[in-house]
Structure 1
Amino acid sequence: MTRNANLWTPQSGQKLQDLLGRTNLSRHEQSRVEQETLRILGRCRAPEWDNDGTSAELVVGAVQSGKTLSFTGLIATARDNGFPLVVVLAGTKTNLRDQTYERLVRDLAMDGDGRLPSWYPVNDLRPVNAGEILARAQRWQDERRTRSRVTTVAVVLKNHASLRRARSVLADVLGQVPGAPVLFIDDEADQAGLNVARPGGAESSTYRAIRLLRETAANHSYVLYTATPQAPLLIALEDTLSPRTVSVLTPGEGYVGGADLFDESYAGFVREINDDALDDESISPPESLERAIATYLLAMVVAQLRGRPRPLTMLIHPSSGTDLHRAYDAWVRGIMGRLTVALTDGDEVLRDQVTTEVFSPAYDDLATTGGNVVEGASVSLEELIEMLADDGYLEAVRVRVVNSAQGNEITSSEWTQAPGWIVIGGNKLDRGFTVENLAVTYMPRGPGVRNADTVQQRGRFFGYKRSYLDLLRAWMNPDTADVFRKYVRHENAMRGALSELDTNGRELSTWRRTILLDSSLNPTRRAVISLDVDDFRLSGWVLTQTHVYGEPTGPTAEGRSRLDGLRASATDDPRDHRTHARNTVVRSTWGEVAEVLADWRAAADEKNVLYSSLLALGSVEGEIPVDVVFMNGGATRDRGPSVASRPVLAGAGWDLNLIDDVEALEVGNLMQGPDPADGSTYRGDRGFAAGDTVTVQVHELAVEVGPGTRSRATSVAIHIPTDLSDRVILQAELAG
């Protein structure tokens, strides 16, 4: 019986309505956010005092899609429904914590509006805050003071030192109001907080600090927010951070994601750069950098003419090495300086030369996507150059390096002080950090270790950008672009599976974790995976079904009927040079063959491979051609037990009822070898596979089940070509 994900029914209140009213969202979008927020809070524990218990719930958004608004709405609704204390774990860097705190104070009007206060915001919990928090928590127990109730919202850095301080404060407060309901919100929950030190039962320092922090609150819910849920989904189910439910956020109107940029608009968005852009010892900048900057500058003045978005930003996102950041800072300032001199120094010959050689190719590039159009009419290159040079836009662009060595964070009030920004940085800009109105990205870095969640988090170019999609460009290493392109299908498959759970109100414990990946990607960093999983690399001969001694194997009655229909259409396979019992082949589609294989009976391990193949190939857009090969034209082949299985069967007197693990028994030599050895007459069964399409072989067997006794069985063998190779991470077995 499926357990319902919802625990109670929260009500939409004034604080949530006030928050939504301050946004620029349409009424439809406001309603969507409201319903999602109520659903998320309804899956948390109800704010009942002295009702001890804990839960962990997962919320999945898309990168740059509005997770902050969602958990801000969750805080507002928690206040409306009686939560006295909310603790937000906001990233691993102080700039992200401060950014989150400032947004919450602004968006929830925590500074007050001339009425009784509703909020007590705290940035970084310290012992000095304990008394104020306690006094406010105690008001919630006084029925005479309902109008003066205040919800504390504490924003905490996600490192062990900050978490230890927060634990000390909460222990002090909750020791005196022990039954108080607490709501924890973990922003970017896949980062830092999961356990990466499991050998011998050890705990990593931040994971342990979070566990101890939660243990101070006997009555709480812990909500994990992330755009990359691979890691939280692959921790052991008994882990305290393993989520009970999942809620999937729907991106709002105008959102641009992976499918938009790396599928539908790939040719318009991606520009390739070479490895010279990665060299921090190079004296001169890579040629592509000047082109990217020129494209950005033209896009900026187009945005100014349109009136939006302002300001417009370019992000230069190399690796984490600060030497490379310094090199790019020098190169960018050098390029900007040369362009400024060329366009503003009064030398018309030089100005014309730079316009022709530098800006004209950039203008033509923008024009391919309509990036030179304002109010329905094309703006000339000359007009854009005049704005850059004569109106002062070029000199007004600010260049800023943002990294752990130099800091230099751009505050929320700074962004609007210039029409354009060129921001240079590495890991500090990977996740959480908001780059306002990012249009042009220059990413001179390889794909790294190819962890899917890390790759996705680098996508600062995702977000609410549809109104200026024509201005978006990204210069990147070809391998990096390819990884982003391949990630799109993985993201779609995962969101589809999680959305089904969310929509049907099912707990995650009812879902067998299944993660589809391109064969070149890893789901997440290996150290955090504690769930027992099987890892299937789907390329080549992914399945040869040899375990046929257990429960009935092969097609169902309906599948047999479909299979017979295919066999009736099959013709002699021209690759088979034998004069009798030739293989036959028919070209079909994966959609048609999948209907046969979906209910194909097989031993557990082989069923897992079959399931993974169905998932992977079923997610490919368009019809995949499949060669269905009937070995020996559908005539039976005699097969006996394998070398390892024969003595087991003989020792039991061929009585399967006396054998503990019947599924482990195999037939030997399912795949016939070449004949003669050079394969001149028969290339062997493995030779009947195409390099450009999926091959499904059907083997009709007469299996030896006793001395002189045989039984009919049908086996399948599946070959997937390299171009369709995939990887599937599958939970070893579903928890009972």
Structure 2
Amino acid sequence: MTDSFTKAYLAALAMMEQNGAPDDIHETAAFAGRRDSVVANDALLRSRLEQGETNDVLHTRLHLALSQWDRVADAPWTNGTAAHSPERRDLIIRLLGVDELTAKIFTDRLPYPDDHGDTVIATRANWFPWYTDEHKQQHAFYWKHYRELLERKGWGAASIDALDAATDEIIGRLADPSSSGAYQSKGLVVGYVQSGKTANFTGVVAKAVDAGYRLIIVLTGMTNLLRRQTQRRLDMELVGFENILRGVDPHDQEALDAVDYQDDEDWLAERFLRHDVRFEDSDLPAIHRLTTYEGDYRSLRQGIESLNFPKADKKLPFYAPTNLFPADAKVAVVKKNSTVLSKLVRDLHRITAKLTEIPVLIIDDESDQASVNTSNPKKWQNDRERTAINRHLSTLLRELPRAQYVGYTATPFANVFVDPSDAEDIFPKDFLIALRRPPGYMGAIDFHDLDAELEEGERSFANSREKAHVRFVDDADDDRLLLRAIDTFVLTGAMKLYREAAGAPAFRHHTMLFHEAMRTAQHREQTDRVRRLWKQAGYYSAASRDRLRKLFDEDIHSVSMARGGEDSVPESFDELLPHISDAVARIGQPDPVIVVNSDQDIVTEDADFEQRSIWRIIVGGNNLSRGFTIEGLTVSFFTRRSAAADTMMQMGRWFGFRPHYRDLVRLYISPKLYEGFEAVVRDEEFFRAELQRYSTLVDGRPQVTPEDVLPLVSQHAPWLRPTAANKMYNAEMDERRSPGIGIEHTGYPEGAADRRANVHAFSPLLAAADQKVVLHGAGAVRYPAYVGTVSHSVLLDTLSQLRWVDDEGFEPNLRWLRRLGPEKIEDWAVLFPQQNNPNETCTLLGHGPFSVFRRKRRTETSPYFAVVSEPRHRHAAERIVGMNSSSDDPEAVSLAAPRRGAITVYPLVEKDAPAVSGPDPERIVLGFRLLAPPDATVRLDGRLVTFKAKNARNRETAIRGVVHP
């Protein structure tokens, strides 16, 4: 198919985008390609689509066009069809004028997404939907160029469309910059660690400039490393070649010497975005950089005019469209540093433009770091006191009434604990948006087997994420383990070079992270240790060959064969051997280590991934702990602990996108730290699930607003609180309604008296479960169980007597259960699963014998179990409460009844406790999982959660107990 054919259809799509509606695609393409006598019809278009890859330019543009038309909210051409519906897609197909065969290709290869995007928690008050499809169509210069750049970078249509939808949602929640009334919107965007949040806020900045925001302040964390990385990213992908040069002749080498990217590989290769516009000769807004790659914000002195905002019509306010849209935008990428921010605040006071008229967007990357006010309320004298960065942010928000604040973070706990009543603080009062997990992302959950139904001996590289990617470090000082990690780094580098030779895209970066401590003095010791082991490894001699061969055969090759997908894998070590020396040369010349910290005596080179290729072992601490992307990270040796879940998650630099080397990623970590990360993964998954659960509007009104999400934060590991104690404020959940959702509390007390009391509370349930049956699990799983039924009132009486480590942790669930009347729930099936070949049994209050289940406490001193129930036992409970209608479990079918819940009970003992036999209620913990029928709601209003404050008059008091699910 000729280029002219492709260009004609691309031009047709561009015309339709300009017109804002689908039209006959063949007629429009024929018109666009008339000079080249292009023939356009269904047969030729089908042939072109069938020949091309799914990420080529025509596939991508067509997919994007269809997706955008799919989600248009309301336009005359939509004829009343709902967005993201089959009816809308059918209408689009008809308007495009394609036949049934072509329409089938659209359906098969260019489908519309089943989900409706990201999770939005928002208040409806003070929100006007000004960011319409018409507005976006008229003002989209920077966004279109950014989108085209992402296409050239190889982003798929689904990823670009997801970014487009997410950024639309964010911009639409901000105030209209041309409105006569000033409103300050504040929001929070929650992504995943290393998941492309920068791409999201780059898209937001592009659309904000298009929409009329004229001062953009991007706060980028607390290190120069991260600020420069963000500055370059925005300059390269949004600001663009023309705005960087600012009229400098690109052929004048002497003038170009002043450009901050003169030695940058991507600048020299002309990879920086080009807008192909002379802004001085157009009505389009230029972007003026107030900061550069090397230079953070400085006091402008005589250059203060660069912060001014001249008006075309001085009689009208600056925000009037006549003045706003032709005006140039100013962008500052600023480190979260008190001195730097004070300069910006001071200069804003000196400009002649009225601050009250300037539409401002503040993007706060890593908004849970430094931005949150952590001053102790108990030490306040009279007025509220603020920490330095928070004080500067408060000043900006107070003195720029048209400023919009959008925080970005992957760990939002500190942000949702901010006092909502503080009008000058950063609480996201207007919206909280949880971004969906992007395609191709490798996150924390990809290193854990959560709720896996496999026994330890059944796990393999193919079915276990832990087994494939995690290597445990029992002793961080053991040189043999660190050398094995370095050997892994060498072999995975050779694997990348092997794949390059086989046709994979080039791997510009290949890195290993060595992170054990925060202090720079320890980094010196770690650096010396790595260099010593590198010299001793003998990579240039035959001495290392047997060691590397063994590691390749047992680990690298086996995992890649199981998880490498379509990526090339050598059949043997000998086939990989020629690439090993090349990998060693790249890593070791001139030094295998790059130190990233503030001690310039040991920093021999910068970790500047943007400007050059890096194959190195990265040693560092805090500078690597948040925000900064270690490109090409493949092997991590990580043993540094933290007491806060958000801090620990942010230190996980091994999360991100790993195209063509996902199977090569390895994490060397201590068992204790790994356990902590698993707890944080559960916290994160729980929080996101709760947000999704409550995001549906009821009668057009939100179930919860951002002010209500605080109690949805969970804590699965008692020693790992959600965030620092000085960021946690006072609130609690009043009632948690969980119809059709398993309730499994894990905070059981250890004292003999408490255990004995809890066993006695279960007496009615023990007596009721007097029938032994065989229940079915998933697949071919079969297991015996004692079963019976008790009334709802009997169950409530039992649950009300139980003793917990944290009494308030289970209480919200109990409040909901007490409110369920007989019209919602009459009784409960009681299930005591038994092991097929039990090693231990016990009798309880004369009932049994029951199988004993071994469970591990989170730590030696922790009363919280890691888990209570087993996934294989949940199928029967779900069948009993009506969550599935399968008939593959006749005993569960016989127990099923309307308005019946199910409680699955486990006699538990600690994993390492002595063997149990006979009656022993003082050593047994009766753990359980509750499952209420899915229609067991309290009211018809559809609300699933209610809240209350522990002490409404003292909102600043730190939380003492956090909800444990």
TM bucket, shorter chain: 0.7 to 0.9
1:341-490 correspondence runs (5 A): 342-344=538-540, 351-370=541-560, 376-389=568-581, 392-393=585-586, 395-396=588-589, 398-406=592-600, 408-416=605-613, 418=614, 420-445=615-640, 447-449=641-643, 451-465=644-658, 467-490=660-683
Query: 2:5 — aligned with what?
Result: none
1:568-647 correspondence runs (5 A): 574-577=843-846, 623=873
Structure 1 residue 95: deviation in Å?
Answer: 1.5
1:541-552 correspondence runs (5 A): 544-545=800-801
Offset from partner CA, 1:344-378 (integer Å, 9 cap, x none): 3xxxxxx3332113552255211221179785552
Query: 2:289 — aligned with what?
Result: 121
Are 2:220 and 1:52 equivalent residues in the alignment? no
Structure 1 residue 683: deviation in Å?
Answer: 9.2
Offset from partner CA, 1:484-508 (integer Å, 9 cap, x none): 1222211111112223455646631
Query: 2:748 — aligned with what?
Result: 539
The answer (yes or no) to whether the contact 2:221–2:366 under 8 Å persists in 1 is: yes
Which of the residues 7, 12, 17 maps onto 2:128? 7
1:198-217 correspondence runs (5 A): 198-199=377-378, 200=380, 201-217=384-400
Give the structure-1-normalised TM-score. Answer: 0.72
Q: Secondary structure at the match of 1:184?
A: strand
Offset from partner CA, 1:294-341 (integer Å, 9 cap, x none): 1111101111121243321111112112222112211222222333xx
Structure 1 residue 48: deviation in Å?
Answer: 2.6
Which of the residues 331, 343, 357 maps onto 1:179? 357
Q: Secondary structure at the match of 2:362?
A: strand
Structure 1 residue 51: deviation in Å?
Answer: 2.4
Structure 1 residue 388: deviation in Å?
Answer: 2.6
Q: Secondary structure at the match of 1:108?
A: helix
- Mark the CA change 1:377 to 1:64 in structure 2 (over 3 Å): closer, same or farther: closer
Which of the residues 146, 154, 158 maps onto 1:19? 146
Q: Secondary structure at the match of 2:372?
A: coil
Amino acid at match of 2:426: L
Are 2:421 and 1:249 equivalent residues in the alignment? no
Are 2:225 and 1:95 equivalent residues in the alignment? yes
Amino acid at match of 1:15: Y
Matched residues in 2 for 1:147 and 1:390: separation?
54
Structure 1 residue 55: deviation in Å?
Answer: 2.4
Query: 1:310 — aligned with what?
Result: 508
- Mark the CA change 1:413 to 1:100 in structure 2 (over 3 Å): closer, same or farther: closer
Structure 1 residue 390: deviation in Å?
Answer: 6.5
Offset from partner CA, 1:542-594 (integer Å, 9 cap, x none): 9645999x99957521466224x659x9xxx95225xxxxx89999xxxxxxx
Structure 1 residue 458: deviation in Å?
Answer: 0.9
The answer (yes or no) to whether the contact 2:746–2:868 under 8 Å persists in 1 is: no
Are 2:927 and 1:693 equivalent residues in the alignment? yes
- Mark the CA change 1:150 to 1:412 in structure 2 (over 3 Å): closer, same or farther: farther
Which of the residues 822, 830, 850 maps onto 1:557? 822
Kindly indicate whether structure 1 or structure 2 has the higher relative contact order, using CA contacts under 8 Å at least 6 residues apart.
1
- Mark the CA change 1:32 to 1:143 in structure 2 (over 3 Å): closer, same or farther: closer
- Mark the CA change 1:143 to 1:454 in structure 2 (over 3 Å): closer, same or farther: closer
Query: 2:959 — aligned with what?
Result: none
Query: 1:78 — aligned with what?
Result: 208
The answer (yes or no) to whether the contact 1:247–1:502 under 8 Å persists in 2 is: no
Matched residues in 1 for 2:684 and 2:609: separation?
31
1:291-302 correspondence runs (5 A): 291-302=484-495
Structure 1 residue 122: deviation in Å?
Answer: 1.7
Query: 1:637 — aligned with what?
Result: none
Structure 1 vs Structure 2 CA RMSD? 4.0
Offset from partner CA, 1:662-684 (integer Å, 9 cap, x none): xxxxxxxxxxxxxxxxxxxx999
Are 2:479 and 1:269 equivalent residues in the alignment? no
Q: Secondary structure at the match of 1:111?
A: helix
Q: Which moved more, 1:459-468 or 1:174-183?
A: 174-183
Offset from partner CA, 1:512-532 (integer Å, 9 cap, x none): 622122133201000111233
Amino acid at match of 1:243: P
Q: Which moved more, 1:47-56 or 1:252-261?
A: 47-56
Matched residues in 2 for 1:18 and 1:695: separation?
53
- Mark the CA change 1:301 to 1:376 in structure 2 (over 3 Å): closer, same or farther: closer
Query: 1:591 — aligned with what?
Result: none
Matched residues in 1 for 2:312 and 2:372: separation?
33
Amino acid at match of 1:330: D
Matched residues in 1 for 2:480 and 2:684: separation?
34
The answer (yes or no) to whether the contact 1:514–1:729 under 8 Å persists in 2 is: no
Q: Secondary structure at the match of 1:221?
A: strand
Q: Secondary structure at the match of 2:186?
A: strand
Q: Which moved more, 1:31-40 or 1:234-243?
A: 234-243
Matched residues in 2 for 1:331 and 1:475: separation?
17
Give the structure-2-normalised TM-score. Answer: 0.56
Q: Secondary structure at the match of 1:436?
A: coil
Structure 1 residue 242: deviation in Å?
Answer: 1.3
Matched residues in 2 for 1:621 and 1:48: separation?
55
- Mark the CA change 1:553 to 1:276 in structure 2 (over 3 Å): closer, same or farther: closer
- Mark the CA change 1:509 to 1:363 in structure 2 (over 3 Å): closer, same or farther: same
Query: 1:66 — aligned with what?
Result: 196
Structure 1 residue 168: deviation in Å?
Answer: 1.2
The answer (yes or no) to whether the contact 1:138–1:177 under 8 Å persists in 2 is: no
Structure 1 residue 145: deviation in Å?
Answer: 6.9
Amino acid at match of 1:126: R
The answer (yes or no) to whether the contact 1:119–1:151 under 8 Å persists in 2 is: yes
Matched residues in 1 for 2:221 and 2:533: separation?
35
Structure 1 residue 154: deviation in Å?
Answer: 1.1
List gaps (5 residues or longer) in structure 1. 278-284, 345-350, 578-582, 588-615, 628-681, 697-727
Flag the structure with higher strand content: 1
Are 2:763 and 1:528 equivalent residues in the alignment? no
The answer (yes or no) to whether the contact 2:869–2:929 under 8 Å persists in 1 is: no
The answer (yes or no) to whether the contact 2:498–2:576 under 8 Å persists in 1 is: no
List gaps (5 residues or longer) in structure 2. 1-120, 243-274, 280-284, 450-463, 735-744, 759-798, 834-841, 852-865, 878-917, 931-944, 954-965
Q: Secondary structure at the match of 2:406?
A: strand
Matched residues in 2 for 1:367 and 1:232: separation?
44
Matched residues in 1 for 2:475 and 2:129: separation?
55
Amino acid at match of 2:748: S
Matched residues in 1 for 2:923 and 2:130: separation?
56
The answer (yes or no) to whether the contact 1:130–1:169 under 8 Å persists in 2 is: yes
Query: 2:402 — aligned with what?
Result: 219
Offset from partner CA, 1:426-465 (integer Å, 9 cap, x none): 11100111100111001132x232x110111011111112
Matched residues in 1 for 2:597 and 2:141: separation?
40
Structure 1 residue 533: deviation in Å?
Answer: 4.1
Structure 1 residue 57: deviation in Å?
Answer: 0.5
The answer (yes or no) to whether the contact 2:186–2:406 under 8 Å persists in 1 is: yes
